[in-house]
């Protein structure tokens, strides 16, 4: 994700591929060199074999998988999610700002903090959504045209149990060949989440006609509705006005 003036040029580059190859396939895999076949479509990957035992009602999860505009927009439509906040994870408080993170040198990834009601949606289901429609977990330090470690695929576990379940789930997906390429997702424990600037919050909802949103991110939300209708929330849960 780059500044808005460069998004228009990039959108023009991907739009012909979208029209020629099919919206979902191109958006999901970005037609990037070394990525999976563009013929593959977003689909529901198998759930984790090992379910979380923690039944505490209110829990937190942090995921990173490319531009946080889209990741936030997806989880805002998941029933049981109480908040989805765009931010940074993996680096220090001093570098948790957009301009520094976008250099790719801070250790941060663009991430989303999800507070959820575990009695309504499980951590396992959130991981299913993350690996199925939110991004391509086989791309290393990139998502499509967004290149750099700030766009890496990462689970930032908030508990030891989440760390164990996430690591086991990655092994499960690799062993079952759920994807045509090995999963590049990392599990990085002990990292603090920092909320992003206000103008990044609810960006997908507030900018539906912006080319990057319309052609790259909104189709992922559409795929969520189609593939995860059992947890689909029609009205997005917005971050605007929320503290913290």
Residues with a known catalytic role: 67
Q: Between the CA atoms of 20, 21, 26 and 27, what dihedral angle is there, to the nearest 10 degrees? A: 60
Kindly list the distances between the CA atom of residue 119 and the CA atoms of 54, 96, 116, 201, in Å, as whole numbers in the listed order.
10, 32, 9, 26
Q: At what angle do helices 218-227 and 68-75 cross, to 10 degrees?
A: 30
Burial of 97 (0-12, 13-18, 19+ CB in 10 A): middle
In whole angstroms, what separates CA 233 from the centre of its chain? Answer: 17
Residue 201: left if φ>0, alpha if ψ -120 to 50, beta else—which one? beta
Burial letters 181-215, b for 16+ CB under 10 A, else e? bebbbbbbeebebbbbeeebbbbbbebeebbbbbb
Determine the Cα angle at 107 with ends 104 and 108, to 5°: 85
């Amino acid at each position: 994700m780059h500044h808005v003036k460069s998004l228009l040029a990039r959108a023009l580059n991907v739009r012909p591929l979208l029209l020629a190859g099919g919206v979902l396939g191109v958006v999901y895999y970005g037609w990037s060199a070394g990525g999976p076949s563009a013929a593959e479509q977003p689909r529901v990957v198998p759930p984790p074999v090992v379910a979380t035992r923690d039944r505490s009602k209110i829990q937190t999860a942090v995921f990173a998988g490319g531009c946080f505009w889209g990741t936030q927009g997806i989880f805002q439509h998941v029933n049981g999610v109480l908040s989805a906040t765009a931010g940074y994870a993996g680096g220090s408080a001093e570098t948790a700002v957009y301009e520094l993170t976008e250099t790719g040198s801070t250790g941060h990834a663009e991430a989303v903090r999800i507070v959820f009601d575990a009695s309504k949606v499980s951590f396992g289901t959130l991981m299913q959504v993350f690996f199925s429609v939110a991004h391509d977990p086989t791309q290393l330090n990139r998502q499509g045209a967004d290149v750099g470690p700030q766009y890496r695929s990462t689970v930032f576990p908030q508990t030891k149990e989440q760390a164990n379940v996430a690591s086991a789930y990655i092994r499960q997906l690799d062993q079952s060949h759920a994807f045509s390429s090995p999963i590049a997702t990392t599990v990085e424990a002990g990292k603090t989440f920092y909320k992003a600037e206000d103008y990044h919050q609810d960006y997908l909802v507030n900018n539906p006609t912006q080319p990057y949103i319309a052609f790259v991110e909104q189709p992922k939300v559409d795929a969520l509705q189609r593939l995860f209708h059992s947890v689909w929330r029609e009205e997005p849960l917005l971050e605007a006005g929320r503290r913290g």
